Every structure is written in C-alpha cells, then in structure tokens.
Amino acid sequence: MCGIAGIISQNPRPDLATDMRIMTAGLFHRGPDQGYVGNRANYRYHFGVRRLKIIDLSGSDQPLSTPDGSLTLVFNGEIYNHPEIRALLEPKGISFSTQGDGEVILYLYQQFGLKFVDYLRGMFAIALWDNRKNILILARDRLGEKPLYIHEGKDIFAFSSEIRALYKASFISDEIDWSAVNSYFHSNYIPEPLTPLKDIRKFPAAHIMEIDLDTGRRKLHRYWSMLDSELDLSSDPEQLKSQAESLINKKVHDSVQYCLRSDQPMAIALSGGMDSSAVATIAAQHNKDITAISVGFKQDKEERKTKDEREEAADLAAYLGLKFHPVEVSEEDLEIGFENV
C-alpha cells in the first residue's frame, strides 16, 4: 500500500524535521519499511515514506535518487508497465540500479520533463524533487486511485497520503471546513478538492503540479481527461460501437495482465458478481497460481441464500482452477477493526 509525506519551506525551519518524522510515523500502517531525506544545510525540504514491498523485494528502497543526487523520488502505488519503460530508456544509455518500478519515474522525468507522466500505466501518487531547479513535482494517477492530500501555506507546502498524517504536523490548523461537512450530509461524500479541514485539500486526480521552492510559485495543470478517446468519433454509430467493444476488451485484458506483475504471492477479490468474475476469468488465463478471496458476513442460513455470494464465488474459482479462501466477518470483527484504526 505504501505512504508518502513531505514538507518544503521557503524559510529555514529546523523544527520541520520533527514534523516530518511525526507525519511519516503516522503512516506506519501503510508499510513496514521507512526512509527519509532532507536538506540539513538549511532545513528547507524533507520527505518521508513507508513502503510495502510488492516489486523488487530486496531493492528499490525509498527515497530513490539518481547517482548524482539531482533527482529524488518518493511514491505510493505501482507502475505496471515498468518493464516496457526500461526497454524504452535503456537504448538511450540509461543504466538501472534496481529491478523495481519506481526508478523508471526518475529517468522518464530526466528524459521527458513533465511529460513523464504520459508514459505511466498504473496507480500512483508521486513526489519528485528536482535538486537542480529547487522544484517539487507532484502527480496523481488518472482516476485518483491513490490518495494524496496537500497543505498550501504562505511559506510552507506539505503533502501526505492521508489526512491524519498531515494533521499531525505542527503548522496544520484544526479549523473545520463547514462547506465540506455540508456537502457530506447532502451527498454522502466530500467532493474534490475539499476535506473536513480548511488547512488540507485533496490533490486532484489526473493533475501534475510544480512548486518552486525559491519563488513559492505553484503551477497546476491537468494531463489527462475522461473525454480523451482513442476512438474515431467521426465514424458511423455501428462502426463506433464495434470500435468501442474492441477497445474496451483490449484495455480490460491488458490491465489485468499488467496487474499480475508481482514478486509477492497474488490474490484476487472475488465477490461472485459480474465485474470481479470477469477479472478473475481473465487473470486465470495467465496465472493459475492465484488465490481467490471472498468475504461474507456472519448470517443465518436464510439470509445467506439472498445476501451472500460466497458460494457463487467458490463455484467460479473451482471452474477456473483457482485456490479459494472464504472469509467470514462478524459484527465483533468490525468493532475490533474500528478500534484499531
């Protein structure tokens, strides 16, 4: 799962190193491995990470830096097409020191600047420090699968994978944003960029931002839109329908294949419904060594007939030749879980 955090300040602030370690400690549940980097000469930038290793178990410790120290990266997520990106970059003379997916981000930026994000297929929240220009670059994946929260102060900019980690910083106010609370009670969710706190905002999906440490200038722009399409929209309706069916089929199959890349044992959440069943069916075509996990609530026999899909999930797993692991959750389990959050 992983978690990242960082602070940059236009003015020297030795106390920010303490804030950084407190924020990173607040992400302990997102990964057992931790790392920090900061400028101890003037205390103007600090970055931390908690990593859960999925790719390159013996390497790729974060923060990751280029050999000359000009670029430093912390990121949460997974870049599914990192082998293809390596194949693109190696002919350009780039030599990689890890087998992980994070290092490709550094060299994509080195080669293509802010266009690096166009090459990434995956889920990610990225923080990239350019030491030559004193610029922090933040980027979030196209659909906002990986969370990223920011604080934009007068001379301090901070970010984190979770609100509660960012909230631990000494410069964050606990003032409530009542417009966000109002949105929640009207819509059952809080829309971007709002959060319950005025001092913290959601970083928007499919966006990239540059923050200049020296001038304080911040530039945010969208790099992808749902309206972008590979379809020929000038085609007649029947051709367009055929194109759409072929494209969706290809994208779904490609996406499942990319997600099967892992140096850890693989599992799939199988509810018995149409969407997870389709994903499991495609996954089984490429890897039979996957465990299908299905979760249900503790119920009496009559309720299980209408409200529990574990039996359907078990039948499909058996048909696909996958190992099956059912999990039953009780009210007591939920109570204990909430207490440990």
CA-based nearest residue to 289, from 321, 261, 262 = 321
What is the rounded distance in angstroms from the CA atom of residue 116 to the CA atom of residue 107? 9
What is the pLDDT confidence band of residue 53, given thresholds at 50, 70 and 90? confident
pLDDT reported for residue 210: 97
Q: List, in order, residues 6 or more apart from 213 with CB less than 8 Å away.
A: 8, 10, 44, 45, 134, 135, 136
Active site residues: 2
Distance of CA 341 to the CA centre of its chain: 20
What average pLDDT score do residues 208-218 get? Answer: 94
List, for residues 269-297, the tens digit of each pLDDT value.
998 889 999 999 999 999 999 999 999 88
What is the rounded distance in angstroms from the CA atom of residue 210 to the CA atom of residue 138? 7
CA-based nearest residue to 197, from 179, 224, 213, 215 = 179
What is the pLDDT confidence band of residue 340, given thresholds at 50, 70 and 90? low
Residue 176 is classified by DSSP as B
The percentage of residues in the chain with a pLDDT greater than 90, rounded to a whole number, is 68
Contact by Cβ (8 Å): 281, 320: yes
What DSSP line would sit under 70-95, residue for residue? Answer: SEEEEEEEEETTHHHHHHHHGGGT--
Better pLDDT: 292 or 305: 292
pLDDT reported for residue 263: 83
pLDDT reported for residue 59: 82
What is the rounded distance in angstroms from the CA atom of residue 48 to the CA atom of residue 46? 7
pLDDT reported for residue 69: 92
pLDDT reported for residue 219: 97
What is the pLDDT confidence band of residue 305, given thresholds at 50, 70 and 90? low
| CA separation, residue 159 to residues 3, 138, 202, 231, 261 (Å) | 11, 9, 10, 37, 29
Radius of gyration over every alpha carbon of the chain, rounded to an integer in angstroms? 22
For the chain, where are the alpha helices, taking DSSP H only?
Answer: 16-25, 82-89, 103-112, 163-167, 178-187, 237-259, 274-286, 301-307, 310-320, 331-339
What average pLDDT score do residues 250-271 get? Answer: 90
| CA separation, residue 338 to residues 3, 11, 99, 260, 329 (Å) | 20, 40, 37, 31, 13
The percentage of residues in the chain with a pLDDT greater than 70, rounded to a whole number, is 96
What is the rounded distance in angstroms from the CA atom of residue 262 to the CA atom of residue 163? 29
3-state secondary structure of 337: helix
What is the token pair recorded at 216? 């304080």
Check whether 40 has a pLDDT greater than 80.
no
Check whether 325 has a pLDDT greater than 80.
yes
